[in-house]
Amino acid sequence: MNKTKTLSCLVALLAALAITPSYGQAGEEEGSMIVGAVFDAANGQPVRGAKVFVKDQPSIATVTDTDGQYRLSVPPGQYTLAIQAANYLDTAIEAVDAKPGEPVQASTVMAAVGSVTTVEVVEKAGAATATAEAMLAERKLAPVISDTLSNEEIKKSTASDAAAVLEKVTGVSVVQGGYVYVRGLGERYSATMLNNALLPTTEPERRVVPLDLFPASLIDNIKVLKTYTPDLPGEFAGGLVQMQTVDFPSARMFRVSVSTGFNSRTSFDRFGTYPGGGSDFFGFDDGSRSIPSSIPADRLFQGSFSDEEFQAFGRSFPDNWESRPIDSMRPSQTYTVAGGDTFGRVGLVGALTFSNKPQRIQEMQRYLTNSGNGNPVILTEYPDYTSNMESARLGGVLNAAIRITPANKLVFRNLLTRDSDKEARVFSGYNGGTDTYIQAERLRWIERGLYSSSVEGEHAVQRLGNSLFHWQFTFSSSTRDEPDLREVVRGRMDDGSYAFLALNESGLRFYNGLKDRIYEPQAEWGKPFFAGRVSGMLKVGFRGTFRTRDFWARRFRFIPNRVITLDLLAPSNELFGPSDIRPDGFQVLEYTRGTDTYDADMDVYGGFAMVDLSLGPRWRLIGGTRIEDASVNVHTIDPRVPGAVPTTAALNNRDALPSINLIYALTPRQNLRFGYGRTLSRPDFRELSPFEFLNVLGGFSVIGNPNLKRASIDNFDARWEWFRGGDELFAVSYFYKDFTDPIEVTIRPTTGDLRESFLNAKAARNQGVELEFRKNLGSLSRTLAQFNVHSNFTVVDSNVKIPDGQDLLLTSRQRPLVGQSRYIANVITEWFRPKWRSNARFYANAVSRRITDVGSVGLPDIYQERSMFLDFVYQFDIVENGKWSIRFSAENLADNNYRWTQAGILQRSFQLGRTYNVGTSFSIF
């Protein structure tokens, strides 16, 4: 044998990812429990069917399951475990100290018989959890370039949702709304998976689900895959976010947490709200915002009804147009409970979390237009724009696993999240479209929900060379309901008073709903093989993604028929009261547009073949090809025309998506990685649909483009990574991406308002460098041994090529991709003091300016300027075993100023204030 290679950084750390229910042993309820997993030292694949037994007591034995995991019941004491498996060298784990009442972790890696490498292993005792060290160990053996966040790191952060968690990942930034930008690329170049299944979006104007919908307490770990392998969906370029919900405990657990938060710009200050339903606080509309039952559901009402019927229609709408401010707004609240246990062959885990958070935002908005002499001028300006938002979030997880035999397992996973926003918005200022000063008030309720349910099975077939068959079927459904948006716009009179303006957006009641569904069957078969110094895994599989969407909207306006009979200066509830809804007063009409209803479907059939080869002790090659056959159809139909023929936007492509990843082990702790893969970016349903929505009077309306094409991306990556042991790491990465037909957002001036739409640029490139550093400072000074520093820095450069025919339309001839920040930096400093039972973390995050909207016809691009965020968290364990703790966090300590500029003119700005949270958590067992 050659010189021993120390892989102690891999040892037992992977067990943190390996805790699933046992398949049962006699006497398992008594004594101590040793849990762990066995992995292939070359590629991290689980070693299935390995015998694990106590040395000198072979009767105390078990075998690893389909995930390489095992559970061994023993009397309390210290043991040496022996592990044996076909085609692998025998190994052992020494000095495993089994104590009563607490599972002990003992995992290892095994070297193949043909390897010239021996593996030195070290056991690690402690409660099994997804520690940072475990995630680094998995990252070292991963086939792709990736970044990971463990459950431990998630708990230590200030983050309350998955979006905020990801801000700490190398090369990742999160924009307002919870959308992830990886390596400076917008959310269209990212994809999100939950428990190995794609997720539908809850937003009609976004292609991916906002990650602030997922409470951090329900997430076990998050991985961001930055290179592609054929067994993954081929539609991403920046990164693929993989979230795993809370997994099965190794012992009975039940933990309760509660916290409250105070915001410097919201809590105990004056706050605008409005009367709603009885369950608004919990995020559920009780039906009081629904379209009145008297309104015809099967046809528009315009001109075909009598005056009396129109009057009855108008009076059937609730008279609730005004906000009612309160003098002091309450703090935010969060409650979480989680528990689970293993019962013989069955494991159960569940978690439930609820939060309600108010946020008051005071901002300024401007909208520019062309002056005619080449210099943009301000068309519309709202210096006093206030949004009062109450957000409620409810999330739950319920998972179960059944170990039929050591070689057969079934897992059932369920996740439900609900998120609602109750907004009262008022603004005033000069509107260039109406050439007057206006006041506007909007009341809005948005309710989102996402449900994902999956069943999966793993079956090891020893007679077929210990091959593994894995199958999974997932159903995911997302909904978005926006019932009864109300808006009233008033214009300033000569005496300074404000009177009702009969504009398209004034006296409006708007209803819309969306339902997105994904059916995703998948199956794959993998067979390990051993041939001297060459070993590996051959894998083939299929994944189908069948997605459908239904979207509808209805618009109603209260039109003044005889102005002289109405007091247009009256408050809105009086102005639209029952006495003023009459034939010679206000009449309600439906103004639903022909593009306000569409349905869509996308069918993607994907098949792949790939191989994972270990070529001796240093080289590893992962390569293969995926074929994706995709069909996207969007049908828009005018509900006002009986028997109308829908307008269809169709997109059909068959693409071969090759991939190759090469890994060279410089030393047992250092890897060189190289990767190439071709991926895609398809236009979303909303981008193909001509549906139009105006968010702010005088601002941007958004409309789709049925002529969009899918974009293709060639991705090149390289990384050097050095795992220094424990949680220490140093890594340098380089990436280059070549885009063909990238989809971009543009601004087009129109009469009065500004229109955003989508088009394909000719080509683009994106390249950059990432640096990552994790270090304990004890090597510098013994007094600094209590401090760890995690930092990462990303610099990105990109350029878009404007296609022929659009160079006269688009203002900028040379510019970066939309959403691409040149610099992204994170610094995390951690202090831990076990004697004081204390742990603290300080975060700094900085993101440089980026384009949010591309200007056209002389109108400049809009940039979001640099952002800086500072957070702090401190946790104190009241009892030594950590079962009762208190936690304090401070977010956005710098009170970041969110700013957008256009041609050097401030276009929009606001601040969210500083948020301070204090809470406690308690484990019953």
Quote helix, strand, coil % in the chain, to nearest 5: 10, 60, 35
| DSSP string for residues in 763-776 | EEEEEEEEEEEEEE
User: Which residues have a Cβ under 8 Å from the Cβ of 463 and sit 6 or more positions away?
Assistant: none
SS3 596: coil
pTM over 0.95: no
Amino acid, single-letter form, for residue 664:
Y
User: Which residues have a Cβ under 8 Å from the Cβ of 266 and sit 6 or more positions away?
Assistant: 329, 358, 359, 360, 913
Paired sense of beta strands 754-760 and 700-703, if any? parallel
pLDDT tens for each residue of 590-625: 888 777 788 889 999 999 999 999 888 889 999 999
Which of the 8 DSSP states describes residue 646? P
Query: Residues 690, 647: contact at Cβ < 8 Å?
Result: yes
Query: Residues 192, 209: contact at Cβ < 8 Å?
Result: yes
Residue 393 has which token pair?
Answer: 């979030």
Residue 762 has which token pair?
Answer: 């000719």
869: phi > 0 → left, psi -120 to 50 → alpha, else beta; which? Answer: beta
Residue 912 has which token pair?
Answer: 């969210």
Task: Give the CA radius of gyration of the chain.
Answer: 30
Nearest to 372 by CA among 905, 858, 806, 901: 858
Amino acid, single-letter form, for residue 835:
K
Residue 150 has which token pair?
Answer: 């463990």
Query: Alpha helices of 22-111 — where are they, by DSSP H?
Result: none
Query: Residues 121, 137: contact at Cβ < 8 Å?
Result: no
Residue 337 has which token pair?
Answer: 């409970």
Residue 23 has which token pair?
Answer: 């398949």
Per the listing, tokens 């952060």 go with 157
b/e code 356-374 from CB counts within 10 Å (16+ = b): bbbbbbebbbbbbbbeeee
Amino acid, single-letter form, for residue 495:
D
Nearest to 239 by CA among 193, 206, 273, 283: 193
Distances (CA, A) of 881 to 77, 78, 338, 598, 922: 21, 22, 18, 56, 11
pLDDT at 627: 96
Query: Residues 274, 218: contact at Cβ < 8 Å?
Result: no
CA gap 200, 563 in Å, rounded: 47
Query: Residues 573, 541: contact at Cβ < 8 Å?
Result: no
Phi, psi (degrees; rounded to nearest 5) at 282: -90, 0
Nearest to 730 by CA among 664, 670, 663: 670
The H or E element that residue 572 is part of is helix 572-575
Residue 110 has which token pair?
Answer: 């095994």
Query: Alpha helices of 143-190 — where are they, by DSSP H?
Result: 151-156, 162-166
Residue 122 has which token pair?
Answer: 């070290």
User: Which residues have a Cβ under 8 Å from the Cβ of 587 and sit 6 or more positions away?
Assistant: 310, 311, 314, 558, 559, 561, 581
Angle at 232 between CA 204 and CA 819, to 5 degrees: 45
pLDDT tens for each residue of 53-93: 998 888 888 988 888 888 888 888 888 899 998 888 888 88
Amino acid, single-letter form, for residue 591:
Y
pLDDT at 15: 33
Per the listing, tokens 């270990």 go with 614
pLDDT at 749: 53
Query: Residues 784, 778: contact at Cβ < 8 Å?
Result: yes
pLDDT at 127: 32
User: Which residues have a Cβ under 8 Å from the Cβ of 875 and sit 6 or more positions away?
Assistant: 156, 838, 839, 840, 885, 886, 887, 888
In angstroms, the first-to-last Cα distance of the chain is 48
Residue 208, number of CB atoms within 10 A of its CB = 24
pLDDT at 638: 66
SS (H, E, C) 86-132: CCECCEEEEEEEECCCCCEECCEEECECCCCCCEECCCCCCCCCCCH
CA gap 149, 224 in Å, rounded: 9
Positions in the chain short of pLDDT 70: 1-31, 101, 114-133, 158-160, 175-178, 184, 204-208, 212-213, 248, 250, 298-299, 301-303, 372, 374, 638-645, 690-701, 747-756, 803-813, 857
pLDDT at 3: 35
